[in-house]
Amino acid sequence: GENVEQHPSTLSVQEGDSAVIKCTYSDSASNYFPWYKQELGKRPQLIIDIRSNVGEKKDQRIAVTLNKTAKHFSLHITETQPEDSAVYFCAASGTGGYNKLIFGAGTRLAVHP
């Protein structure tokens, strides 16, 4: 069935370091891969996304890479700041389309000053 695996489940870094979160998806038909950030008690917010016709996308300190052959995609955050501390979710578009997303289990990122 449809599945998205996300690693690691927790990540602790020092301020200024880089953080990398990796996801693997199962459905070869998936063509849209967003990343959401969820702070404690808040709603998930889209931070970056990539479509299957693009291999890499960057927005300031965050970037996403996609390897369709291996069904892997990753989130890279550079120069981390304490306000980057949150739970990050990767997702892949699901079977049947129509705005159905299959989410990974989440990565709790802690950035220590």
Partner 1 sequence: KAGVTQTPRYLIKTRGQQVTLSCSPISGHRSVSWYQQTPGQGLQFLFEYFSETQRNKGNFPGRFSGRQFSNSRSEMNVSTLELGDSALYLCASTGPSGANVLTFGAGSRLTVL
Rounded distance between C-alpha atoms, residue 14 and residue 23, angstroms = 22
CB of 2 to partner 1, least distance (A): 9
| Measured CA distances, 5 to 14, 38, 59, 101 (Å) | 25, 18, 24, 13
Q: Which is nearer to partner 1, 33 or 80 (CB)?
A: 33
CB of 84 to partner 1, least distance (A): 19
User: Tokens 């070869």 map to which residue?
Assistant: 28
Binding site for partner 1 (CB under 8 A): 32, 34, 36, 42-46, 49, 89, 91, 93-94, 96-106
Q: Which is nearer to partner 1, 42 or 112 (CB)?
A: 42
Q: How many other C-beta atoms lie within 10 A of the C-beta of residue 52?
A: 16
Single-letter residue type at 74: S
Q: Which is nearer to partner 1, 11 or 78 (CB)?
A: 11
